[in-house]
């Protein structure tokens, strides 16, 4: 099977199942997801139980989202207290929890200002709007700002963020796309230099470069240090804003609080969502003072930064700090990659690479063989381990950040068992 045919096939196992949707109610849900044959009933820590009572080790964590795992006592306590107090008010008023969360984020990052929204795509939309306003108001003659993004990137599903996403499979049938985006290969500095030179026509030029510090969805590909150091220089020399999408890799997942800390550079603008409130919906767009050009009325969100979501995020952040969770992420990440490398060495015809930072790790399957990430995800699921594909050929490991050494060992054992069943079939 060629890579192209695999890419065209979405990660669908089935769209209906009598067993996992006995009443057929899923027929009323719009048909946008291929689903694995599994319905979850409850969770605790790094474990989930399905509706038939079977337990699974959860190395998906709602796609890098359930930072503190499931049913964490601190999160339960916070959301219970907050919903009793007040859960939502309009941004017509000052929201103390929002201020406190913004202060924490500013004190623990390179940012000076925070805008709150509800998802990764929305945070990136806010970043794109900020870039455009900055270009129109601060950069002379720049009427047609262009944002460079990377091929194989993922930035969301709204019209602007799906345009920013450098993967045709997500854009198919949604044309016309948003103007003002152009793509370059990831980790390729020459391509950036060429694009900046090519897109230079007086009132049309590159205003920002938007990248993931580590490409998640596109195959768990870490950014290269040299590339990002040079990129920062190029941006400084050319008045180009450097924007990082930290939606997946940020919030401690890389073993540092922010992905950019692994690359020795600071962005001008960056976004967070997924793990920020451990599974309660929230997004944030953060930036440095010099480019904080939004004024009242420029941008807004009804739910954005409400007391419920902000209190949850504060608890997640304070728990990460209090319980030294970043240290756990680093140690468990090392342990996991060591285990995965040992497995890859045992099956050199199946696997070509193991890579990642902290607890965002990938295992790449040999492109010369027909085996897909989805086949392995299914086999692991049957054996009691939940994994996520990152494209057709990469297995993604993104467990809760509280995962224990025993659970890492257990996951590796289950994966080996799953691999042996796939080989035998
Ligand atoms: C998941 C993801 C998004 C989109 O987030 P949503 O909350 O689904 O809108 C954007 N960027 C990256 C890097 C992501 O991993």
How many Å lie between the centroid of ligand 1 and the Cα of residue 218? 12
Instruction: Taking residues 217-233, report their average pLDDT.
Output: 98
Q: What is the pLDDT of residues 370-411, one digit of tens each?
A: 999 999 999 999 999 999 999 999 999 999 999 999 999 999
Terminal-residue alpha carbon distance, the chain: 18
**pLDDT higher than 70, residue 11:** no
All structural domains of the chain with their residue ranges: 3-65+325-424, 73-322
Residue 8: the pLDDT is 40
Over residues 269-290, mean pLDDT: 98
The greatest distance separating any two alpha carbons of the chain, rounded to the nearest whole angstrom, comes to 64
Q: Whose CA is nearest to atom 11 of ligand 1?
A: 155
Could you identify the atom of ligand 1 that is nearest to the CA of residue 122?
Answer: 9
pLDDT in tens, 129-166: 999 999 999 987 688 999 999 999 999 999 999 999 99
pTM reported for the whole predicted model? 0.95
DSSP state of 323: T
Q: Kindly report the CATH class assigned to 73-322.
A: alpha beta
Confidence of residue 201 (pLDDT cuts 50, 70, 90): confident
- What's the Rg (C-alpha) of the chain? 22
Q: Which ligand 1 atom sits closest to the C-alpha of 248?
A: 15
At residue 36, the pLDDT reads: 92
Beta-strand ranges (E) seen in 229-280 are 241-245, 269-272
Instruction: Write the pLDDT tens digit of every residue in 281-339.
Output: 999 999 999 999 999 999 999 999 999 999 999 999 999 999 999 999 999 999 999 99
Q: What confidence tier does 217 reach under pLDDT thresholds 50, 70, 90?
A: very high
What pLDDT is stored for residue 18 in this prediction?
74
Q: Name all residues whose Cβ lies below 6 A of ligand 1.
A: 119-121, 124, 154-156, 212, 216-217, 245, 247-248, 273-274
The CATH code of domain 3-65+325-424 reads: 3.90.1150.10
- Residue 114 contacts residue 105 (beta carbons within 8 Å): yes
- What mean pLDDT is reported for the chain? 95
Looking at residue 224, the DSSP 8-state letter turns out to be P
Pick from 279, 266, 179, 277: which is nearest to 231 by CA?
266
119 Cα to the center of ligand 1, angstroms: 7
Which residues, 6+ apart, have CB-to-CB distance to 245 below 8 Å?
A: 120, 124, 127, 153, 155, 210, 211, 212, 270, 271
* Rounded distance from Cα 212 to ligand 1 centre (Å): 10
Task: Give 347 Cα–ligand 1 centroid separation in angstroms.
Answer: 32
pLDDT per position as a tens digit, 158-181:
999 999 999 999 999 999 999 999
Instruction: Tell me which of 117, 118, 246, 247 to substitute to probe ligand 1's pocket, judged by most ligand atoms within 8 Å of the beta carbon.
Output: 247
Least reliable range by pLDDT among 18-32, 228-242, 308-322: 18-32
246 labelled as ligand-binding?
A: yes
Q: What is the pLDDT of residue 189?
A: 98
Q: What's the 353 CA to ligand 1 centre distance in angstroms?
A: 24
Instruction: Let me know: does 118 contact 98? Beta carbons within 8 Å.
Output: no
The pLDDT tens digits of the residues spanning 326-374 come to 999 999 999 999 999 999 999 999 999 999 999 999 999 999 999 999 9
Q: Is the pLDDT of residue 254 over 70?
A: yes
- pLDDT reading at 5 higher than 70: no
Whole-number pLDDT of residue 419: 98
Residue 414: CB partners within 8 Å, gap ≥ 6?
Answer: 57, 380, 383, 384, 385
Q: Where are the beta strands (DSSP E) in 346-387?
A: 351-357, 360-365, 385-386
133, with CB counted inside 10 A (0-12, 13-18, 19+), is: middle
Q: What's the pLDDT at 307? A: 98
Please count the residues of the chain. 425
301 is an annotated ligand-binding site residue: yes
In terms of pLDDT, which residue wins out, 60 or 21? 60
pLDDT band at 4 (very low <50, low <70, confident <90, very high): very low
For every residue of 147-213, DSSP letters joined together read: EEEEBT----SSHHHHHHSB-HHHHTT-PSPPSSEEEE-TT-HHHHHHHHHHSBSSSEEEEEEEE-S
């Amino acid at each position: 099977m060629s890579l192209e045919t695999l890419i065209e096939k979405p990660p669908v196992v089935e769209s209906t199942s009598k067993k996992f949707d006995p009443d057929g109610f899923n027929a009323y849900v719009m048909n946008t997801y291929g689903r694995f044959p599994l319905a979850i009933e409850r969770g605790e820590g790094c474990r989930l139980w399905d509706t038939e009572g079977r337990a699974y080790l959860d190395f998906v964590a709602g796609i890098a989202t359930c930072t503190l795992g499931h049913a964490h006592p601190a999160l339960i306590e916070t959301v219970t207290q907050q919903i009793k107090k007040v859960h939502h008010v309009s941004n017509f008023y000052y929201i103390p929890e929002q201020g406190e969360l913004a202060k924490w984020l500013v004190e623990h990052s390179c940012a000076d200002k925070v805008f709150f929204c509800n998802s990764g795509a929305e945070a990136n939309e806010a970043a794109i709007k900020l870039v455009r306003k900055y270009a129109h108001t601060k950069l002379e003659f720049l009427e047609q700002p262009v944002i460079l993004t990377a091929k194989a990137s993922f930035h969301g599903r709204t019209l602007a963020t799906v345009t920013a996403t450098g993967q045709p499979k997500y854009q198919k049938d949604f044309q016309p796309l948003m103007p003002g985006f152009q793509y370059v290969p990831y980790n390729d500095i020459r391509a950036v230099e060429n694009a900046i030179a090519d897109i230079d026509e007086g009132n049309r030029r590159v205003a920002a470069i938007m990248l993931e510090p580590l490409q998640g969805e596109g195959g768990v590909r870490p950014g290269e240090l040299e590339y990002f150091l040079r990129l920062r220089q190029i941006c400084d020399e050319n008045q180009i804003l450097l924007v990082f999408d930290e939606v997946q890799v940020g919030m401690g997942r890389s073993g540092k609080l922010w992905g950019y800390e692994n690359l020795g550079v600071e962005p001008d603008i960056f976004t967070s969502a997924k793990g920020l409130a451990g599974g309660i919906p929230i997004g944030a767009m953060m930036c440095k003072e010099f480019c904080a050009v939004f004024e009242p009325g420029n941008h807004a969100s009804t739910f954005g930064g409400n007391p419920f979501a902000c209190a949850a995020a504060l608890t997640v952040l304070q728990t990460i700090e209090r319980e030294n969770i970043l240290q756990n992420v680093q140690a468990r990440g090392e342990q996991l990659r060591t285990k995965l490398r040992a497995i890859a060495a045992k099956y050199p015809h199946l696997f070509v690479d193991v890579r990642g930072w902290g607890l965002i790790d990938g295992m790449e399957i040999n492109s010369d063989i027909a085996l897909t990430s989805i086949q392995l995800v299914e086999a692991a699921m049957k054996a009691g381990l939940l994994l996520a594909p990152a494209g057709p050929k990469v297995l993604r490991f993104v467990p809760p950040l509280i995962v224990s050494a025993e659970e890492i060992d257990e996951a590796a054992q289950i994966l080996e068992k799953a691999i042996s069943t796939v080989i035998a079939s």
